[in-house]
Structure 1
Amino acid sequence: MTGLYVDSASVLHRTPTSVKFLLLSLILAGVFLVENLYALGGILLFSVLLYPVAGIRLPFAWAAVLPVIPFIVLTVAAQMVFSSLHGGAVFGVRICVAVLLASLLTYTTRSSDMLDLFGKVLGPLHHVGVSPWRAGLVLSLTVRAVPMLSASITTAREAFVARGQKAAGYEIVVPVIVGLIQSAEAIGDAISARGLEFDVSEA
């Protein structure tokens, strides 16, 4: 299966997938409870520094955040208008932290490991007629959707720059959609090539 895994021998790469998901959940739960902007800034810095600790270059962190910047700007502006400047800033930092950490999880976790974890966690669904393997596959692909979108947007922007053009937001929509469709087709082909379109339990 194709993915955004970045090979490395870091501690984060060697950490069990279940532990990484648990830590991600706890950190994000804490982030969305913190209101102090200075504390959130420290958490944001910590999230960025985790990338080199994991042996992943900082441009990967920027590539993860770049696609959601327009959404963050619009949402923060709305928060500032209808709530307060502090509330808008807090919301923006929270989203950046969430995107950085979720992307780091995909960079340091193999698709197969993620799929195995989801299959085990969703095991009880088998009793109600739902395939845990299929449900795990859907969740695994969903987790990787945001980084895949990020990579597609980055590729489209770089293509415009390489041609000496400045890409406006609307001009990259079509290339991004085409890139995502190609990625989806590649994933589908990989699944079919490995005979994974059928759950093992169904064979």
Structure 2
Amino acid sequence: MGSLYSEYTTWLHHGSAGAKLLALSLAGMLLFATSQPGALAAASLLCAALYASLGQATLGSRRLLGSVTAAAALVAAFHAWMGTWQTGLASALRLASVCMLGIAFTVTTRSSDIVEVLQRLLEPLRPLGVQPEQLSLQLALMLRFTEHFFIQWKKLDEAHRVRTGRAGGLRLVAPLTVQMLKTMRSAGDALYVRLGRD
């Protein structure tokens, strides 16, 4: 499966997965702790500066960020049309900020490191019947398939643009669904064989 992780080393690559995940969680909570447009705009600028500081590591994720930015603009426009522009602006700024932070975490953190952190976090729940290995694997797979979805969408859109000169739009839904189902089946078969042997 494709991954947004970048081998281009940046300053954020040197941080531990646990520390970055904690910082991401705290930042997300702080973004929802206020609805003041000024504070959220300042937070968005800080997130944009963090994202920009990663340079070439973000090349593979820029189209994803563009899509999220367009979605944030639509959210703001809808609320403005409903007469609640302040709520729309706050929602759009939160969405853009969280997306930039999430991308920064994803492109600088290996999936294996994320799995290890999740296992350690879930370990205290083992006496309650929770199996940290399985649950952390499920969460890691969810993250990987989310990455893979956007990567395949990007590839299909680029191929469609080369052939027709236009964006694929909703025409990509069917082929994207087929590719994702094939990938999920392959991943499921591989896990079945691996777990069966273990």
Same fold flag (TM > 0.5) = yes
Partner residue in 2 for 1:148: 148
Larger helix share, 1 or 2: 2
For 2:13 and 2:189, the matched residues in 1 are separated by 27
Distance in 1 between the 2:163 and 2:135 partners? Answer: 42
Runs of 4+ residues deviating >6 angstroms: none
The residue aligned with 2:98 is 98
**Cα distance in 2 for residues equivalent to 1:44 and 1:60:** 21
Mapped partners of 2:121, 2:135: distance in 1: 10
Does structure 1 retain, via aligned residues, the 8 Å contact 2:4–2:61? no
Contact 1:65 1:100 in 2 (8 A): yes
Distance 2:83 2:141 in 1: 35
Task: Give the distance between the partners of 2:49 and 2:182, measured in 1 at CA.
Answer: 32
Is the 2:9–2:57 Cα contact (8 Å) retained in structure 1? Answer: no
Matches within 5 A, 1:11-26: 11-26=11-26
Q: Over residues 72-112 of structure 1, what are the superposed CA-to-partner deviations in whole Å (9 max), with x where a residue is unaligned?
A: 35533443344511221221121111112112211111111
Task: Give the Cα separation in 1 of the matches to 2:60 and 2:48.
Answer: 10
Matching residue of 2:6:
6
**CA distance in 2: counterparts of 1:2 and 1:88, whole angstroms:** 33
Q: Distance in 1 between matches of 2:31 and 2:161?
A: 36
Contact 1:64 1:150 (8 Å CA) reproduced:
yes
Tell me what 1:125 maps to.
125
- 45-54 vs 132-141, which deviates more? 45-54
In 2, Cα distance between equivalents of 1:101 and 1:40: 14
Q: CA RMSD in A?
A: 2.8
1:27 aligns with 27
Where in structure 2 are the equivalents of 1:67-86 lying within 5 Å?
67-68=67-68, 71-86=71-86
**TM-score normalized with structure 1 length:** 0.80
Q: Unaligned regions of 5+ residues in structure 1, if any?
A: none
When residues 88 and 114 of structure 1 are mapped into structure 2, their CA distance, relative to the original with a 3 A threshold, is same
Which residue of the partner structure matches residue 65 of structure 1? 65
8 A Cα contact 2:122 2:132, kept in partner: yes
Contact 1:8 1:55 in 2 (8 A): no
CA contact (8 A) 1:160 1:166 kept: yes
Q: Which runs of 5+ in 2 are unaligned?
A: none
Provide the aligned length of Structure 1 versus Structure 2.
198
For the residues of structure 2 that align with 1:111 and 1:58, how far apart are their CA atoms?
17
Per-residue CA deviation, residues 6-35 of structure 1 (Å, 9 max, x unaligned), is 113322111111100110011111112233
Kindly state the Cα deviation for residue 2 of structure 1 after the two structures are TM-superposed.
Answer: 5.9
Q: Which residue of 2 aligns with 1:36?
A: 36
Say yes or no: does 1:46 pair with 2:46: yes
Counterpart of 1:89 in structure 2 is 89
